[in-house]
Structure 1
Amino acid sequence: MRKLANTVALAALATGITTGAMATEWNVSVWGKPRAFTSHVEVLNEMLQEKTGGAFKLNISYGGLSSNKENLDGISIGAFEMAQFCAGYHEDKNPTLTVLELPFIGVNTLEEEVAVSQALYAHPAVAKDLGRWNARLLMPSPMPQYNIVGTGEVRDTVAKMDGMRVRATGGLGEAFKAVGAVPTSVTATETYNAMESGVVDTVSFAQHAHLAFRTIDQADWWTANLNPGTVNCPIVVNTDAYDALSDEERAALDSSIEPALAHYLEVYGEVLKKWDAVLAEREVTKVMFTEEELDKFRAVAAGPARAAWIEKMSAQGIPAQELVDLVDSTLADNR
């Protein structure tokens, strides 16, 4: 009898029929360190384990699986099951998403950023675009409008931005280029060293990233109201991995997205409260652009950038005007 029991146990191990082997574990590639920007992924993991009794968990890696610019490539080959990336890192890989990185598109709040992102992610052209990488869009990482920290001369007019070396990606980089600045798209993790070595003298980030990547530690000044735009950084999953989930696991994942985003917004609210205190502590000058200067920036960067994006994407067979209209209508519907 004992021999039979041992034989059955060995057979079970060989076929993976054990409680441990039945658990579903997904590897998740993000970067930096745990922060507001990744808080929805962290709480998603907690909710999945709670809903499934520990049978579905996420192994979240901060830079150990891939570089942030290669996360979409890793998803495409199944190197890991979930990842975060920013559209501006590689426009050619995800052109449809870059509509949300156009300058001055009119998003005012994180809630509006969630709304326009989810509307865009649900569009068939966007799903097809990401489908080329075997990627399924899961949820956004909504961020407020970017602003810049800088060293040396305060850049408080459009004219003073001429020649400014700024870390800015995607549409934001194009916006700064339009006013004579010199944008560079170094990754977030490379930015502190780029600023320290003088490769850039200004950095465009949302507040959490200025804190997380310590660019605020080098700053002399901060633009409080430039608000040129932001980047779109979705969480995606490998389509094959998603399709392989059981009905119960898929339901646990899908039903956790909205609560995870709600948690993210709450955490980010605390970051914004902390920001002013950090500026005061480090004696960073708060720069306010006049409405006249902001209008100059918008005139040079907003309309031309949108027109150029529509022309470029339409030439690639992307329904560009339709995507722009979707953003506008979604914003109108949420106000």
Structure 2
Amino acid sequence: MTLTKTLTAATLAGLMLTTAAPAANLDGPSVFWKISMYGNPRALTSGMEALAEKVAAETDGKFQIRIFYAEQLGPARENLDGLKLNAFEGAGICNFYHPGKNPAWMVFSLPFLPIPNPEADRYVRSKMFEHPAIVADMAKWNAIPYVSGLLPQFEMMGKGDAPLTLDDWSGLQVRAGGGLGDAMQLLGATKQTLSAGETLTAFQNGTVDVAAFPFTYAHVAFKIYEEADWYTSNLSPGSAECGWVLNKTAFEALPEQYQDLLWDNRDLVLDAEQAAYAAQDEKNLPLFEETLTEVKYDEEALNAFRTRAGRPIWEQWVADNQDDFDAQGVLDAFLGYAAEAAAQ
């Protein structure tokens, strides 16, 4: 599933122009925030870059936010540890990089959750970022959930013979985390929970055959398409939460006007992310269609996959976590918000 074209490159350009407009509406102290991020600047990071511009403009440069890319401040799997140590003021995290550190967040990676479109996805994720269990997971690491990364539905990109049937997945080494990885195991594949930055090397040396990434932007951002032979276009097996969290100590130390500035601009971040994903789709889809083999499953195959790897994975996740937190309550909340979004 790709993003709707209502948010285009022109929309993104408008957002960036808006954030760059000189305002200097707020007075306050000089503050410099470091945000730890893995990988290079890309669609996922466009929202926080827009926020940094907005914050600087509103405070006449007194409140500066800088994203440090390529794991300059620490490994991707240790960003939560860095927040707990007050090593930086915010971070991009991916829930399946460290499932034991954020068990409730793994609800975002359950396969085949009923999210029909990007607008519904945004509604559900924004609501879930306020859920007590999601907040509690971050509190253990001196962190506050800020905004979702709004990752699009994942699709697969691989080398070698394309899996034209569900049985063809047996024996493949698949980079996929969380419930999506569990779903692939039910098809006979072996799951690999590599970070995004590690995946290209694994592709090149043959230890991974297939990579699940948010479609389409991440396959290009991490150069997977350069090594791949084929891609799936309609498997839409699920997503993950690679979102943004803030250092609780640092946030609470801000003057109230700076706290409000961050909190009141969450929609700005989300708007910029969605616009960037849509712009990437417009550019990437023709590239994929020209250079790679498209794998598109019929409805019978998709229904078989959903039956085998949808609700059974949900139920197992609840059973595995019920003694540690209210996993059923977290799942019910997610499904409830999804129903609300569908009714709007």
Q: Does the alignment reach a TM-score above 0.5?
A: yes
* Cα distance between partner residues in 1 of 2:98 and 2:248: 20
Structure 1: which 4+ aligned runs deviate by more than 6 Å?
none
Percent of paired sites with the same residue:
34
The alpha carbon displacement at 1:111 in A equals 2.3
The alpha carbon displacement at 1:108 in A equals 2.7
Among 66, 77, 82, the alignment partner of 2:85 is: 77
* Cα distance between partner residues in 2 of 1:84 and 1:30: 5
Matched position secondary structure for 1:234: strand
Among 279, 296, 307, the alignment partner of 2:288 is: 279
* Cα distance between partner residues in 2 of 1:124 and 1:73: 21
* Cα distance between partner residues in 2 of 1:214 and 1:78: 33
Give the partner amino acid of 2:253.
Answer: A
TM-score (norm 1): 0.91
Write out aligned runs for 1:20-99 (5 A): 22-62=29-69, 63-99=71-107
Deviations 1:103-158 (Å, cap 9, x if unpaired)? 00122322222222121111112212210111100000001111111111110211
8 Å CA contact 1:88–1:171 kept in 2: the answer is: no
> Would you tell me which structure has more helix in proportion to its own residues?
1
The alpha carbon displacement at 1:299 in A equals 1.4
8 Å CA contact 1:110–1:144 kept in 2: the answer is: yes
The alpha carbon displacement at 1:97 in A equals 0.8
* Cα distance between partner residues in 2 of 1:22 and 1:167: 45
Which shifted more, 323-332 or 75-84? Answer: 323-332
Matched position secondary structure for 1:241: helix
Corresponding residue for residue 326 of structure 1: 333
8 Å CA contact 1:119–1:326 kept in 2: the answer is: no
8 Å CA contact 1:168–1:203 kept in 2: the answer is: yes
Write out aligned runs for 1:106-121 (5 A): 106-121=114-129
Corresponding residue for residue 268 of structure 1: 277
Instruction: Return 5+ residue gaps in structure 1 as ranges.
Output: 1-20
Give the partner amino acid of 2:218.
Answer: A
* Cα distance between partner residues in 2 of 1:178 and 1:76: 36
Write out aligned runs for 1:105-144 (5 A): 105-144=113-152
The alpha carbon displacement at 1:53 in A equals 1.2
Instruction: Return 5+ residue gaps in structure 2 as ranges.
Output: 1-27
Corresponding residue for residue 219 of structure 2: 210
1:149 matches 2:157: yes
Q: How many residues align?
A: 313
Matched position secondary structure for 2:188: coil
Matched position secondary structure for 2:322: helix
The alpha carbon displacement at 1:41 in A equals 0.9
Give the partner amino acid of 1:326.
Answer: A
Among 148, 163, 174, the alignment partner of 1:166 is: 174
Matched position secondary structure for 1:315: coil
The alpha carbon displacement at 1:165 in A equals 0.8
Matched position secondary structure for 2:294: strand
Matched position secondary structure for 1:154: coil
* Cα distance between partner residues in 2 of 1:121 and 1:257: 12
Among 238, 241, 266, the alignment partner of 2:250 is: 241
8 Å CA contact 2:124–2:341 kept in 1: the answer is: no
Write out aligned runs for 1:243-322 (5 A): 243-281=252-290, 283-316=291-324, 318-322=325-329
Corresponding residue for residue 18 of structure 1: none
Write out aligned runs for 1:218-229 (5 A): 218-229=227-238
Q: Which has the larger Rg?
A: 1
Deviations 1:314-335 (Å, cap 9, x if unpaired)? 121x111111111111111112
Q: Which has the higher contact order (CA 8 A, sep 6+)?
A: 2
Give the partner amino acid of 1:69.
Answer: R
Give the partner amino acid of 1:77.
Answer: L
* Cα distance between partner residues in 2 of 1:34 and 1:125: 30
Matched position secondary structure for 1:334: helix
8 Å CA contact 1:167–1:184 kept in 2: the answer is: yes
8 Å CA contact 1:113–1:143 kept in 2: the answer is: no
Which shifted more, 236-245 or 272-281? Answer: 272-281
